[in-house]
A and B are shown apart, each in its own frame.
Chain A
Amino acid sequence: MLGRTANGLFWMFRYLERAENTARLLEAALRMALTRDIVAAEAEWRSVIATLGLQQAYEAANEGYDGLSVWNFVLRGPSNPGNVRAMFGAVRSNARMARINISSDVWEAVNDNWMKLDKLLARPVGQTAVGEVLGAIRRAGTQVHGAFDGSMLRDEGFHFARAGTFIERADSTARILDMKYFLLLPSLSYVGSSLDTGQWEQVLRSVAGARVYSWLNAGQIEARGIVDFLVLDDRFPRSLAFCRGALRECLGALARAHGVEGGCHALMRDADTRISHLSVDQIFDQGLHEFLVDFLARNAAISRAIAEDYRFHA
């Protein structure tokens, strides 16, 4: 496979994942804002922009933090080059570039959803439409992944695409957790208070884990349990441990197919030794924020090493 094509598959799935995660983040904030007073709602929208690292660009283009402004900026803001509409454009142009290495089912799922979303996002998204738009973005991801699982040859292209998915997903979960933790820091001593519970529940919603968490924990919401779930529980497909495991599989398959390991494999092994056998208490002892910063840096380093090992660029 061409290095450029591998790069196309990797980024096609990173952008697809990013769009889906962004939609989940907005959905969770939307729900939160509806159930809180104006001050709390504004804080929630502010934290969405902060989580996405868009403060500067957002504040240059907007007066204050209200839902309508935030979701329009994130979904389609012309002064936000990384908006969701542009992400889908990138998904599609990467898919076109890798066209001969993806199945027709995958291409049609991408193209179909791109046509739909590009139209939905061509105009400002109002209060009544936003739920539908966010749902459509999530479903786009689901449809592409479904077509992908059901029709793709399990060759190296498959593994590059999955590597992109799990690197992006781990990045997203870690960022959401870090941001919420940062906001919640002052209230950590009030673990169990009602505001706190709501905020932590919000973290779970942002990564589509609220229902399954409360089913596993008989409805008990508390910080340590949530961190344990989102970082260490390898049964939950958006946890850091799950993403790491899936990425490990992808890289293992690539090494077997090529008969040789590269720099990304060494980094992966090194990263693994830092997270395996870790308990949630140890994470809190070393500091959750420090742990997550280290995790994000290693995740990014593995991504760069994959690009280098497999000749993504000339």
Chain B
Amino acid sequence: MNDDGGTFDEMFDGSGQTRPAYAEYCRWFDEQPGEVLKRKNREADDTFRRTGITFNVYGENEAEERLIPFDMVPRIITAAEWRRLSRGIEQRVRALNSFLYDLYHRQEIVRAGRLPERLLRANDAWLANMVGFTPPGGIYTHIVGIDLVRTGPDEFFVLEDNARTPSGVSYMLENRETMMAMFPDLFSRVGVESVSNYPRRLARSLAACVPPAFRGGRATVAVLTPGIYNSAYFEHAFLADQMGAELVEGSDLRVVEDRVQMRTTRGYKPIDVLYRRVDDEFLDPLTFNPDSVLGVPGIMDVYRAGGITIANAPGTGVADDKAIYSFMPEIVEFYTGEKPLLPNVQTWRCADPDSLAYVLDNLAELVVKEVHGSGGYGMLIGPTASRKEIKAFREKLEARPENYIAQPTLALSTCPIYTRAGLAPRHVDLRPFVLVSPEGIDITPGGLTRVALKKGSLVVNSSQGGGTKDTWVLKD
């Protein structure tokens, strides 16, 4: 349901009235002198540059670092909305873990005829050497990011599950720090749920998953990064710093006496839990990509022998490609015995001939995505694409239909951003961050709001010019 027949704006209703969630914020906003807001807006950029919160852009000058633009108008979610969302997220993440366990064990869901076996066989993220192995604590996805979009007051959809190595949590934390530093008075007027203990919760969650070889005392946790040229290096360093964990690269690690150990100034020291921010295929050159210098030769053998915990577990990517996504409603129902609380976006699987025919007939209205794509690359947005682009995509689709899914172009909700001309609505999505450990599922209230800065644009990815906002969940 949309107020003007098109887009749902989260701050203002169709008649221009402020919605209740934003009432106090808007009162505060109207009291601020325009000059002060302008100055604060400039200051925000300097703060981010000075603290070095940058990301590297692929395909450009190797050393180029960019800021993800930050917008100083918060995105606000009420306590009631959040309760509903978090129940749905919790259910979905529980199902994802049961699904992964099942896939690498008896595959009951395939036997029950609820998921076609070819989806597993054709899946590049499937790891044969995870079959029959249970990770420490039975946890596959220690850290999950669930991408949500909104189209109306009560209409939230899951757009994507990120079960491999979701990134962006450092922006959630730094955006809040920046907002509190810029507008302390605002936080004394509006009660906002805190996000700042995420690193502590992450550290606790990881330490709860120690491997059988753990000898007691304080668990040694390390963050594995591809290095300072990786686009998310800032985040890797930030999380390691905040957790009090070591930040390691492949060249620091070696298998010594059946443990993965890091080279310290005092010699080699075993790691209990490795929060890896490198992809599966680079993790172990002996098992996967033999050219990888980012990983640790032999780590998979140590893992299977109980010498280390890897978070997220290798092979979890099988659960988050877009072909599996289209089965998530069945998956949730199969493992939880409940109806999904959060719906999927309607999805056509192009592998299915009838769907393919429909998609080809309606390319100009649909969003078509690669099954394994990410970051907004390799997709077609029908309504904004040129005729030439559509034609080129049609050929790709016809050549490898099983490589694509299609979705309707959603009227994503908007939230205003601050511009020199005042507030202006822009489309947003939301990525809440979820921690999973044997102690339970822990969802940080809020998450990362990504915002398309170009007027009318639906692409919120930072690699394509999107920005971020601080995300508030109001206290009851």
Contact = CB atoms under 8 A, between A and B. Distances in A.
Interface of A: 1-6, 93, 96-97, 99-100, 104, 107-108, 111-112, 115, 156, 258, 310-311, 314
A311 B263 contact: yes
Q: Which of A2, A93, A112 has the most CB of B within 10 A?
A: A2
Contact of B52 (A5, A96, A100): A96
Nearest to B63: A89
Q: Which of B263, B265, B266 has the most CB of A within 10 A?
A: B265
Contacts of B254: 314
B247 interface: yes
7 contacts: A4-B249, A4-B263, A97-B228, A111-B52, A258-B265, A311-B264, A314-B263
Contacts of A93: 228
Contact of B247 (A3, A99, A112, A310): A99
B50 A310 contact: no
B267 interface: yes
Contacts of A99: 237, 241, 247
Given A107-B52, A115-B49, 7 more contacts: A6-B265, A96-B52, A96-B228, A99-B241, A111-B49, A310-B265, A311-B265
Contacts of B49: 111, 115
B51 interface: yes
A104 B51 contact: yes
B350 interface: no
Contacts of B246: 2, 100
B158 to A, nearest CB: 34
A4 B227 CA distance: 12
Contacts of A3: 252, 263-265
A74 to B, nearest CB: 22
B457 interface: no
A1 B247 CA distance: 10
Contact of A2 (B52, B228, B248): B248
B240 A100 contact: yes
Q: Is the interface of B mostly helix, strand, loop or mixed?
A: mixed
B80 to A, nearest CB: 37
A263 to B, nearest CB: 14
A311 B254 CA distance: 14
Q: Is the interface of A mostly helix, strand, loop or mixed?
A: helix
Q: Which of A1, A3, A107 has the most CB of B within 10 A?
A: A3
A252 B16 CA distance: 70
Nearest to B51: A108
Contact of B252 (A2, A100, A115, A156): A2
Contact of B237 (A2, A96, A111): A96
A4 B266 CA distance: 12
Nearest to A94: B228
Q: Which of B233, B241, B248, B267 has the most CB of A within 10 A?
A: B241
A2 B263 CA distance: 6
Interface string B233-268: 100010011000011110110100000001111110
Contacts of B241: 99-100
A100 B245 CA distance: 9
A1 B265 contact: yes
A96 B49 CA distance: 14
B143 to A, nearest CB: 19
A260 to B, nearest CB: 9
A108 B52 CA distance: 8
Contacts of B249: 4
Interface in B256-302: 262-267
B228 A4 contact: no
B265 A100 contact: no
Contacts of B52: 96, 107-108, 111
A1 B50 contact: no
A4 B240 contact: no
A84 to B, nearest CB: 17
Contact of A100 (B51, B237, B264, B267): B237
A214 to B, nearest CB: 40
B50 A4 contact: no
A118 B366 CA distance: 46
Task: Give the top 6 A-B pairs by smallest Cβ distance, nearest first.
Answer: A99-B237, A100-B241, A310-B265, A3-B263, A111-B52, A96-B228
A221 to B, nearest CB: 44
A6 to B, nearest CB: 5
Contact of A96 (B233, B240, B267): B233
Interface in B193-215: none
A51 B251 CA distance: 36
B410 to A, nearest CB: 39
Contacts of A4: 249, 251-252, 263
